[in-house]
């Protein structure tokens, strides 16, 4: 199916493509790529930056059948790259298996999430891209190419920003299914968070801390505990009290959009994401920004942002603090450093947000903050070159895979291939 340009999920970005084609087979993708001078892949439209945009042709792979291949011996599953995480998760749970983590939204496509380094939370959990063990791409001449973990360049291709081709199949690591409970704690004193950030973020398998930057205490934080870990769940922790009431009032959304809280155990796919796959997630009418800083400097980064709290709060829906384990993926925001992830969900006030971002980025500059590739930011190419030591290798390999620049767009030209 072909149609004119559309908006992203939140309605904050209009795609400038001459045409958007919804492919239904990999052969169709191959034909489109082979015949296009320039082409980009578009996922579930959850990006707030122009990373997926082009003024040429956009192709989606979300309409290609998942065609699940479960290899229990290897502990992997292979699936269509456009498959949404919620659909993959349901298949795995039905067969007794699980992913190591999920993002807050189960609605996002696998390919889009891994290409941008999207993540869940947890001190010991890598970003979603770290679960990938193989990728199949349609490359610039329309042929199909597979690259596997351990092969040269694999760590560059996974968080690939769409620069290497259209990802059509992915293989992910899996593990036996597990149960998770989700508990909400309220009233955490700021000094406890700042003095013992590691203690807070290690309370569960996955922890999220929510704030508006000006409140007297932390509004609440969510602790997701694996039932097979044997961890003790306490009713009070250093001034914060466990609550059985849903925390949904943090967003302009109804509580039935959220997965069950209050300590009720359930399968991993119904607890690790914040939102239910059968509901419209979050507020929708919003802008998102996110930065990764070294977790060892996380408390100082939080202090720097609290100084801007009075400027941030009027335009903010909520900030969420999460964590991710270090990895070796070249353009992962968690490349070789355990990270604190500072997320902003803004009201849809683009002028005010764009005026604030340089101030936020200046405050975070001492911590070498890496912006999420799919979120709105104003970080320039020179800064990104300092933040990502493997960027020269990424550029060289992308040019080798795509010598004619078929997968290039304004975003890549502005931030990755600038000066060529």
Instruction: Please give the pLDDT value at position 418.
Output: 87
Instruction: Please give the pLDDT value at position 49.
Output: 85
Residue 214 Cα distances to 97, 138, 324, 341, angstroms:
42, 48, 25, 19
> Which CATH number is correct for 2-60, 3.20.20.20, 3.30.310.80, 3.30.43.10, 3.40.640.10?
3.30.43.10
- pLDDT tops 50 at residue 344: yes
% of the chain with per-residue pLDDT over 70:
91
CA nearest to 96, candidates 210, 215, 178, 187: 178
Instruction: Please give the pLDDT value at position 43.
Output: 85
d(CA 49, CA 288): 9
Could you read off the pLDDT of 137-157 as tens digits, one per residue? 999 999 999 999 999 999 999
Could you read off the pLDDT of 158-200 as tens digits, one per residue? 999 999 999 999 999 999 999 999 999 999 999 999 999 999 9
CATH 3.30.465.10 fits 69-177, yes or no: yes
Instruction: Please give the pLDDT value at position 249.
Output: 47
- Average pLDDT estimate for 306-315: 98
> Which CATH number is correct for 179-381, 3.30.70.100, 3.40.50.720, 3.30.70.2520, 3.30.70.1380?
3.30.70.2520
Domain residue spans in the chain?
2-60, 69-177, 179-381
Secondary structure tally for the chain: helices H, strands E: 12, 21
- pLDDT tops 60 at residue 220: yes
φ and ψ of 167, to 5 deg: -75, 125
- Average pLDDT estimate for 80-96: 97
- pLDDT tops 60 at residue 3: no
Instruction: Please give the pLDDT value at position 48.
Output: 79
Instruction: Please give the pLDDT value at position 280.
Output: 62
d(CA 333, CA 127): 9
Instruction: Please give the pLDDT value at position 259.
Output: 52
pLDDT band at 56 (very low <50, low <70, confident <90, very high): very high
């Amino acid at each position: 199916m072909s149609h004119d340009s559309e908006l992203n999920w939140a309605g904050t970005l209009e795609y400038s493509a001459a045409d958007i084609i919804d492919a239904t087979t990999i052969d169709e993708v191959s034909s489109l790529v082979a015949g296009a001078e320039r082409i980009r892949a578009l996922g579930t439209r959850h990006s707030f930056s122009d990373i997926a945009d082009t003024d040429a042709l956009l192709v989606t792979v979300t309409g290609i059948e998942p065609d699940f291949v479960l290899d229990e011996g290897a502990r992997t599953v292979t699936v269509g790259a456009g498959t949404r995480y919620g659909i993959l998760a349901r298949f795995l749970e039905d067969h007794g298996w699980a992913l190591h983590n999920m993002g807050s939204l189960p609605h996002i496509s696998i390919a889009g999430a891994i290409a941008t380094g999207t993540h869940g939370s947890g001190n010991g959990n890598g970003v979603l891209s770290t679960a990938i063990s193989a990728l199949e791409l349609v490359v610039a001449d329309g042929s199909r190419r597979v690259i596997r973990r351990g092969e040269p360049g694999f760590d560059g291709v996974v968080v690939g920003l769409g620069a290497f081709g259209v990802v059509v199949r992915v293989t992910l690591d899996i593990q036996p299914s597990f149960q998770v409970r989700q508990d909400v704690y309220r009233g955490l004193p700021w000094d406890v968070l700042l003095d013992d950030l590691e203690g807070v973020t290690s309370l569960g398998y996955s922890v999220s801390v929510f704030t508006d930057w000006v409140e007297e205490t932390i509004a609440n934080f969510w602790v997701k505990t694996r039932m097979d870990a044997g961890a003790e769940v306490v009713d009070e922790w250093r001034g914060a009290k466990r609550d059985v009431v849903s925390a949904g009032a943090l967003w302009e959304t109804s509580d039935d959009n959220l997965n069950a809280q209050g300590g009720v155990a359930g399968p991993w796919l119904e607890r690790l994401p914040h939102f239910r796959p059968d509901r419209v997630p979050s507020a929708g009418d919003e802008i998102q920004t996110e930065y990764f800083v070294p977790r060892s400097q996380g408390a100082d980064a939080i202090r720097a942002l609290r100084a801007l709290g009075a400027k941030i709060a009027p335009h903010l829906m909520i900030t969420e603090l999460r964590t991710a384990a270090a990895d070796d993926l070249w353009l992962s925001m968690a490349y070789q450093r355990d990270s604190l992830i500072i997320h902003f969900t803004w009201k849809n006030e683009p002028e005010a947000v764009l005026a604030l971002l340089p101030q936020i980025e200046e405050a975070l500059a001492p911590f070498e903050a890496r912006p999420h590739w799919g979120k709105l930011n104003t970080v320039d190419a020179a800064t990104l070159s300092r933040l990502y030591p493997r960027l020269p290798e990424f550029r060289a390999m992308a040019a080798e895979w795509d010598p004619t620049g078929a997968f290039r767009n304004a975003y890549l030209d502005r931030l990755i291939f600038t000066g060529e």
